[in-house]
Structure formats: structure tokens, C-alpha cells
Amino acid sequence: MRQPLIAGNWKMNKTATEGQALARAIREGLQTQTVEVVLCPPFTAIPAVHAVLQGSSIRLGAQNVHWEDAGAFTGEISPVMLKEWCQYVIIGHSERRQYFHEDDEMIRRKVLAALRHGLIPILCVGETLAQREAGETGTVVATQTRRALEGLSPEQAAGLVIAYEPVWAIGTGRAATGADAEEVIQRWVRGTLEELFGPEVARRVRVLYGGSVTPENIAEFVCRPTIDGALVGGASLKAETFLGIIHETARAKA
């Protein structure tokens, strides 16, 4: 059985002080043990949020990581630094691919580096609107998944989290339909995992949907057995909406 997971990607929002207040409100409002909850603040807020989460079941994640352990990489953060604070790290988010020119090879190295230090990657994959309209969704998602995971052992792959996030659905208020997300995840994400690592790994990996998730539409996704939860951006910045998504997920998966 895969435990449902809701992860909040705060992106470049919240100071340490603001992050602490948000994390405290989420901790105090959380009413379920069945859904795993992960907060991904910006780097500067991670220690403050960590302090607020002490003794709770809520986990911490970072939004990016470098592939080297240390060295002359100005402005970067290594997995060795993160593992003092975090259990998870988002890798290959479409905003990193688009604005910071991360390619599949960089993403593959980041996944390996995270795993080497016991961090769980939340690997993001997804097609752009142009790719969807050209009928390339399946190829794009399968290729991104394959290239990010080449060289992993089945044991390493089994511990991963993958987020299917169609780029056109991120921050647009225009979510995919549940049926669309289900089809892409089952056929192209789990299908590729099965090709690479076999059916057991394809069943064990947790796969999330991301892109304009709200308390109102989350059930549409998590009512489907192949979708284990969500990676939430905008709606994770308010305790009320983020808690709504978590509690709807607990209800739908019960």
C-alpha cells in the first residue's frame, strides 16, 4: 500500500518568519495521520520551519539541490547540507527546466546525488501546451522519466516520488482533468517505470499530480487509485487551502 502524500511547493514565497507562521498553522490544523504531508519552503526558511515541525509527523523538503557534495559552485546548495534538515527534495520542476535551463542530464545527476545522501527525490515531469497540442504528451513524459532515472537500481527507484505536472496547468487555474492525469500517469509514468525496473517498482513508486490543485478539485485526482496525492503550489501558501487539500485527500483515500 502506498501512503498518500501532499507536498506544498512554496516556490520563492515566504520569509523565515512568515514560513514559521504558516507551518505552525498547518501543524495546528492537521487532523489526519493517513496522509503524509511535506512542506517545501525556500532554503532560507528551512531551519525556521524545521524548528516549528519538531515532534510532528510533517516532513520537510527543499525545492532544488546541486549534484556535487561540495565545491566551487557559487549560489548552490548540496545534498549534504540539505540532509541535516530535509527528507525530500523537488528535482526538475518545470520552472527550473524553463528559467534555469536544467536539462535531463542535470536532473539525472541531481536524482542520483539526492539518493546517495538518503534524500527522497520528488521528480517532476510534464509536457508544455505546445507539446500537448502536437500530440507529444506521452513521448515527453516517458522520455523525461527515463532520462532522469537511467542508471538507478530497482531498489533506489522504488523509493522515489514522481510528480506529473503538465506545464500548462501550473499556476494557471486550469488543472488537467482527473481522467487525463490518470491516463498519463498510468500509461507513461508507471509504464516507463515498468519498462525500466519491472512491475513491482512501477507499483511501489508514489506518483502525484500537480498543476492548479485546490480543495475543490483535489478529490477528482486522488479518487483514482494510480494517483497518490498532489504537489501543490499556490494553494499551499495558505493554511486553510492546504489543509483543505490534505483533508479531502484523506477522505477520498479512506
Active site residues: 93, 165
| Per-residue binder mask for ligand PGA (CB under 6 A), 164-183, x = binder | -x----xx------------
Identify which of residues 160 and 201 has a Cβ nearer to ligand PGA in the complex: 160
Residue of 4, 9, 19, 36 interacting with ligand PGA (CB under 6 A): 9
Which segment (17-25, 163-171, 187-195, 239-247) binds ligand PGA by CB under 6 A?
A: 163-171
Cβ 180 to ligand PGA, closest distance in Å? 15
* Interaction of residue 212 with ligand PGA, rule CB under 6 A: yes
Residue of 132, 142, 234, 249 interacting with ligand PGA (CB under 6 A): 234
The residues that bridge with 208 in the sheet, in sequence order, are 163, 229
Identify which of residues 25 and 237 has a Cβ nearer to ligand PGA in the complex: 237
* Interaction of residue 233 with ligand PGA, rule CB under 6 A: yes
Instruction: Please tell me the count of residues contacting ligand PGA according to CB under 6 A.
Output: 13
Identify which of residues 8 and 79 has a Cβ nearer to ligand PGA in the complex: 8
Identify which of residues 165 and 182 has a Cβ nearer to ligand PGA in the complex: 165
Identify which of residues 192 and 217 has a Cβ nearer to ligand PGA in the complex: 217
Which segment (79-87, 188-196, 206-214, 243-251) binds ligand PGA by CB under 6 A?
A: 206-214
Rounded distance between C-alpha atoms, residue 43 and residue 109, angstroms: 20
Cβ 68 to ligand PGA, closest distance in Å? 25
Residue 96: name the closest of 72, 71, 64 by CA: 64
Rounded distance between C-alpha atoms, residue 94 and residue 252, angstroms: 28
Residue of 213, 227, 246, 250 interacting with ligand PGA (CB under 6 A): 213
Rounded distance between C-alpha atoms, residue 209 and residue 166, angstroms: 9
Residue 223: what residue type? Answer: C
Q: Which residues bind ligand PGA (CB under 6 A)?
A: 9, 165, 170-171, 210-213, 231-235
